[in-house]
Structure 1
Amino acid sequence: MKRFCALLALGSLVSPVAAQDDVPPAPYAYRQLADPEQEARAQALMETLRCLKCQSQSIADSDAPMAGDMRHQVRTRIAAGEEPEAIRAWLVARYGDYVSYAPAMSETTWPLFAIPVFLALVAAAILWRRLRGSP
């Protein structure tokens, strides 16, 4: 009886997760905008936004349901006349800096820009000292 109750409790936790994939995709998840210029702007923006589920694909390339919802949001907002950078700012505010392949320099992302420069300077200093010391 205890095992049955444990399986029942586990099943009640799993079913909402499985139900999320049963929801039909948003209208603009897989359908392009009628205006080719708007679709080009939307596509350019979608290629610079990261799928939060896949993490290695842009939302333009991902088939994850969440990426489809994000594509729908981008296309809907582009069709409404919103600028791509305003849409990017809205998505970053909603999902964090990680959603953008081109993060803006801020107090949380400055180490991403500073550490490679620092490491390059250290490597150049080590190389310079080694080459200077040899005859």
Structure 2
Amino acid sequence: MRLMAVMLLALALVSPAAAVNPDEVLDDPRLEQRARDLSLNLRCLVCQNQSIDDSNAELARDLRLLVRERLEAGDSDEEVIDYIVSRYGEFVLLTPRLSFQTVLLWGAPVLILLIGGGIMMTYARGRGKATVTPGTTVLSEAEQAELAKVLEDRDRRS
């Protein structure tokens, strides 16, 4: 029983917790909830794949304060996100927006594989065909029949 209590305590200490400090919390609960929702979708630029809501980094704290500042100024959620993206770039979004650049980024490897596969198939089809190089002659029907006869005799001997 004691072991179970220690394990639960250890698990509780390891689980991620929001890094929002009490002095950052807004007085208006609706604005605070909007700030939390927005913060969950913004990437900490120091921690990479962690939201600013979960990060203890100074830059994440600055971004959380900036989000709250913009909300208090009356910006909509979309305006806050646009403002942050204009300052820090698309990389700050944990879920990137669908745009030409993101489609190109995700579609380029597939396109390259398709083009490569097409080139390989064309090359493989071309290798199966007999090609006549300059300076060589094609066998006549009589010569082909003679060659077939010689090969058949050779196969019988072996």
Uncovered stretches (5+) of structure 2, i.e. residues with no partner: 1-20, 115-158
CA-CA distance at 1:69 after TM superposition:
0.3
- Bigger relative contact order, structure 1 or 2 (CA pairs below 8 A, ≥6 apart): 1
1:83 shift after superposition:
0.7
2:44 maps to 1:57: no
Show structure 1 runs of 5+ residues with no match.
1-27, 123-135
Is the contact made by 1:29 and 1:71 (CA closer than 8 Å) also made in structure 2? no
Return the index of the structure with the highest Cα Rg: 2
1:24 is aligned to none
Q: How many residues align structurally?
A: 94
CA distance in 1, matches of 2:43, 2:29: 23
Cα distance in 2 between the residues matched to 1:43 and 1:109: 26
For the residues of structure 2 that align with 1:109 and 1:29, how far apart are their CA atoms?
37
Between the aligned partners of 1:113 and 1:51, the Cα distance in structure 2 is: 22
User: When the two structures are superposed, what TM-score results if normalisation uses the length of structure 1?
Assistant: 0.60
| Deviation string, structure 1 residues 49-82 (Cα, Å, up to 9, x no partner) | 0000000210000000000000000001111111
CA distance in 2, matches of 1:68, 1:80: 18
Taking the aligned partners of 1:112 and 1:81, their CA distance within structure 2 comes to: 35
Residues 84, 44 of structure 1: alpha-carbon distance in 2 compared, 3 angstrom cutoff: same
Percent identity over paired residues: 42
Residue 86 of structure 2 aligns to which amino acid in structure 1? A
RMSD: 2.5
